[in-house]
Amino acid sequence: MSPQRALLRGLAADLVAWFCIPAAFLAACVGRQLLPAEAVAPHLRLLLIPLLGFTLLRLLLAAAGLGARAARAASALAASLLLAAMLAYYLAVVIGLQSWGRVVSWDLITSYAAQLPMLAGALEISLPLVAAAALAAWLALLGAAWLYFGRFDWTAGFRRSASAAFLAVIVCAGGAIGAIELYNFLAAPPTQESEPVSLTFWPAEGAWDYQGHAVEKLKAAIVDAAEDQERNAYRPAPGAARRNVILIVVDALRADHMGIYGYSRDTTPTLARLDKSGALRKVEGVRASCSSSFCGLLSLASSKFVHQMSARPITLQEVLRRHGYGIHMILSGDHTLFYGLRQAYGQIDQYFDARTARTIRYSNDDRIMLEHLAGYPSWDGKPIMMQFHVMAAHPLHNREGRVPKFLPAANYVAHRAPGAELRPSERSVNYYDNGVLHADDSIRSILEMLGRKGYLRDALVVVTADHGEAIGEHGLYQHANSVREEVLRIPFVLVAYGYRPARPLQAVAAASQADIAPTILAELGMPRPATWQGSALQEPARREFLPFQERWEAGVYDLRDPRNLWKYWINLKSGEEHAFNLTADPGEEVDLSGKLAADLKRQLQRQVVGRGPATAKRRIGDPQEP
């Protein structure tokens, strides 16, 4: 074979070998709608930079006179390390996209790397076994690279046919091209095209993304202007009842797995005791606005649906602060990094999460939050809002020291049954129910401490969730991956301490997460900001449709027929439709989209498409959810 043909054959083989893994990664992500097609070209272009650098390294090794075997060994070692890093990164990206719909950020990688033993414990994974598997995989890559360079290495032949001066020109030119490409990437990272590496290092670039729901800048500016106008017009109520507000948000908590909502297991003994005392009121049929933490928490705070969200919302926290409240956020988990909601909440008097605690312990540990609360002083009589975030029901929560009640149990994130289940396995159900029981125990600890310190002498306590959780239904796990009932159904519980509610809650076919803040204000006798979209549940229901959205899937609940609660959604990208009569089919087993009356279908389609839902997943990055 001529030197020219050998060179071309080797270069072609290098390109195929280098890009086969990225091609498989991109095909899987784009095909499953985890990444847009616009991400492909910039990502492949970025990968040319390390390929060019590695090629120049091989030329230098060939010119260094190390000997054929030594140069081959060094090339194989470098190639195996590069490919191992590529595979590890792609694995992290896929886990992030499938688990919470986001590209993993560098801060998140370093955060969890520092907590790796604790993370492995939470997932019930053997760290030595994972390390052994990773080592075996790297050795396999090393062996494959050694064999590859024994067959396709072209550098030695090129070195023999090229002069030293020509080789120096090639290396210098290649280095300059690589440096220019790297500079271009750093100066203008392609975040708008959702290129994953750029989103890893610049997660907050570009338009504000509500955890996969991007609002166009022009529309956001109009919404923000309306919020500012209402902010200037809003006036506090002089006669409002300024009792303490304790808002407890349990991450990934499903209402249908809580004993107080009729579940067969007593997973909520603390709340059940409050229910028996007559102090507790629970709202049936509450749905989250989405199945992700960021937009769920923002909907809860700003009383807006996903397609209406603002970067400068008037939040529940801001309204209460205008009424003289101190605002205290005491959050389990790392909200500074994972959610990025601190700015959206507005001015806060005290903010605490695992990141601000600067603890070396696992961030998703409720004990960090409880220890911080234990250091609080007794109540001084001034009204206060405290918002807690409890991680105990989340699959990444640290369950060290907690004895499981329901067995056998296994974390469904790491121990899913082979193949896609259509129904939850016993181990998954038991694991999740243990988490709900642990969350109830965290609520008990919060209330006991607050009671001892006097904060519950005159207080409204609210327990709710940011979203639900899939534990195998319809072959799905976790959240941020669908709009099924298991990820949208959440609890809404109100407990009155030291007072009797003046107005009862109205029975409704379905309520929204966006209704929670207006209901709290109505309980206190405070006016609701005009830009809020939710309704106080003390007032008669007037709403006909209830919207929801998770990425490309947007839909509505049809509340017009009290005998039949219809749920309809459409995939905005593929056009695929789904419709269920939840009154007859609460588990969404029978899809009736093909049997809907034409007039009803047109009405439902008009509600979804006509409202202008948030753009889904144009960029995937931003502060993330665990």
- pLDDT tens-digit map of 320-352: 999 999 999 999 988 876 666 777 788 899 999
Residues 31 and 164 in one domain: yes
Q: Is 193 helix (H, G, I), strand (E, B) or coil?
A: helix
Question: How much is the pLDDT for 619?
Answer: 32
pLDDT at 588 over 90: yes
125: containing domain: 3-201
Q: Please tell me which residue, 121 or 453, carries the higher pLDDT value.
A: 453
Separation of CA 14 from chain center: 37
Q: Are strands 553-558 and 545-550 parallel, antiparallel or unpaired?
A: antiparallel
Residue 307 within any structural domain of the chain: yes
Residue at a domain's end among 480, 513, 542 = 542
Q: In what order do the strands lie in the sheet with 286-287?
A: 489-490, 286-287, 511-512
Question: How does DSSP classify residue 264?
Answer: S
pLDDT at 311 over 90: no
- 333, 363 contact by CB (below 8 A): yes
Residues 194 and 247 in one domain: no
Residue at a domain's end among 171, 201, 231 = 201
Contacts 24+ apart (CB under 8 A), 532-539: 532/302, 532/303, 532/304, 532/314, 533/303, 533/304, 533/305, 533/308, 534/303, 534/304, 537/283, 537/505, 537/506, 537/508, 537/511, 538/503, 538/504, 538/505, 538/506, 539/506
| Location of structure tokens 């991956």 | 481
Residues 275 and 155 in one domain: no
Low-confidence winner among 79-83, 299-303, 598-602 (lowest mean pLDDT)? 598-602
Residues 156 and 256 in one domain: no
Question: How much is the pLDDT for 377?
Answer: 97
Residues 445 and 336 in one domain: yes
| Location of structure tokens 């074979």 | 1
Residues 373 and 320 in one domain: yes
- 98, 481 contact by CB (below 8 A): yes
Distance CA 68, CA 51 (A): 21
Q: How many domains does the chain have?
A: 2
Question: How much is the pLDDT for 161?
Answer: 82
Q: How high is the mean pLDDT of the chain?
A: 88
Question: How much is the pLDDT for 622?
Answer: 36
441-492 pLDDT per residue, tens: 999 999 999 999 999 999 999 999 999 999 999 999 999 899 999 999 999 9
Reported as a pLDDT band with limits 50, 70 and 90, residue 417 is low
Residue at a domain's end among 542, 577, 596 = 542
Distance CA 176, CA 491 (A): 59
Reported as a pLDDT band with limits 50, 70 and 90, residue 167 is confident
pTM equals 0.78
102-111 pLDDT per residue, tens: 788 887 788 7
Residues 169 and 271 in one domain: no
Task: Find, among 356, 301, 349, 360, the residue nearest to 334 by Cα.
Answer: 356
Residues 402 and 458 in one domain: yes
Q: What's the mean pLDDT in 407-413?
A: 93
pLDDT at 310 over 80: no
Q: Is 214 helix (H, G, I), strand (E, B) or coil?
A: strand
Distance CA 524, CA 538 (A): 11
Reported as a pLDDT band with limits 50, 70 and 90, residue 608 is confident
- 339, 297 contact by CB (below 8 A): yes
- 280, 271 contact by CB (below 8 A): yes
